[in-house]
Chain A
Amino acid sequence: MTARCRGDAGQVGGIEALPFGLLIFVVGSLLIANAWAVVDAKFATDAAARQAVRTFVEGDDPDLALADARAAGLDAVEAHGRDPGRAVVRPVGEATLERCSRVTFEAEYEVPALSLPFIGGYGRAPFRVRSAHSELVDPFRSGVPGEAEACV
């Protein structure tokens, strides 16, 4: 009797391509996953910047509006399942709660970058995903200083 699976007779040539293909698959998957993490963070920073600026322009107390806007932005980051500790929500320039003033808020989130074989780094790591959003303070709302004429 002859034992089976002895020797390499009948071995398929090029079988070494399988682990290499698997490696390519893993690297490609990690590349896509990391790129997706950036897009997902962009969703969160967009929402955070928008919530912050809306909270600010709808605020009543100029002293509290800034803190409320930051808190609303960080809450939006958390609601997207992200760590608010890695996010920064801040006004661009001076945010003034005055009639017709344009208020811009920026949200930034740090996404760690994977270092992948073949591909290497993506450039500057970690990624800083940033979004900005701006709105006008309603020219005809009550409770804020300034003149509506200044809007023209």
Chain B
Amino acid sequence: MLMPAGVLVVLLLGAIAFDMSLVFLRQRQASSLATDVANDLATAAFDEGAFRRDGAFQLDPTRAAELGTDLVAVSDLSDLIVDVEVAVVGPDEVTVRVVVRVDYVFARAVPGASDGTTVTAAATAIASPG
């Protein structure tokens, strides 16, 4: 009886390792996405009207939110996005937080195991002259 049980245990552990690597992959993808969107928004959401009025560099929160949502929607992960938050946290600083769904491959076959999980990644970009 030990042999079949051992085989099943090893296969189950392999399946868990695979699903966890998938979670890690999505985490890295979410991190890359958040970083790149924040990097884009740090200049693309520049409030030119305010700059012409008072000469100060300032990001437009409304534009940042719209543009951030658009950029995430056209990304490779768009089908898996659960939530996107874009926050202008300073005149030249923007933070992007994305929540991505991860669908397990093997764990779904295990009774009682969840079908997936979510991963969150956040990134902040600061515009600087140069």
A-to-B contact residues, CB < 8 Å:
17-18, 21-22, 24-25, 28-29, 32, 35-36, 39, 42-43, 46, 49-50, 100, 102, 131-136, 138-141, 148, 151-152
Give chain B's interface residues, CB within 8 Å of chain A: 3-4, 7, 10-11, 14-15, 17-18, 21-22, 25, 28-29, 32, 36, 39-40, 43-44, 46, 48, 71, 74-76, 105-106
- Cα–Cα distance between A127 and B29 once the two chains are bound (Å): 20
A36 to B43, CA, bound (A): 39
| Bound Cα distance A100, B41 (Å) | 11
CA distance A32 to B106 in the complex (A): 9
A-B contact pairs, 28 of them (CB 8 A): A18-B3, A21-B3, A25-B7, A25-B11, A28-B11, A29-B10, A29-B11, A32-B14, A32-B15, A32-B17, A35-B18, A35-B105, A36-B18, A39-B18, A46-B25, A46-B28, A46-B29, A50-B36, A102-B74, A133-B36, A134-B71, A135-B39, A139-B43, A140-B43, A141-B43, A148-B48, A151-B44, A152-B48
Q: How many A-B residue pairs have CB under 8 A?
A: 68
**B105 nearest CB across to chain A (Å):** 7
Verify B3–A36 contact, CB threshold 8 A: no
The listed residue with most B CB atoms (<10 A of its CB), out of A22, A133, A136, is A136
Minimal beta-carbon separation of B73 from chain A (angstroms): 11
Complex Cα–Cα for A26 and B14 (A): 12
- Kindly provide the distance from the CB of A50 to the nearest chain B CB, expressed in whole angstroms: 6
The secondary structure that dominates the A interface is: helix
**Distance (whole angstroms) from the CB of A106 to the closest CB of chain B:** 9
Could you list 18 further interchain pairs (A-B, Cβ under 8 angstroms) beyond the known A25-B10, A29-B11, A32-B18?
A21-B3, A21-B7, A35-B105, A39-B18, A39-B21, A39-B25, A46-B32, A133-B32, A134-B71, A134-B74, A136-B40, A136-B44, A139-B43, A139-B44, A140-B46, A148-B48, A151-B44, A152-B48
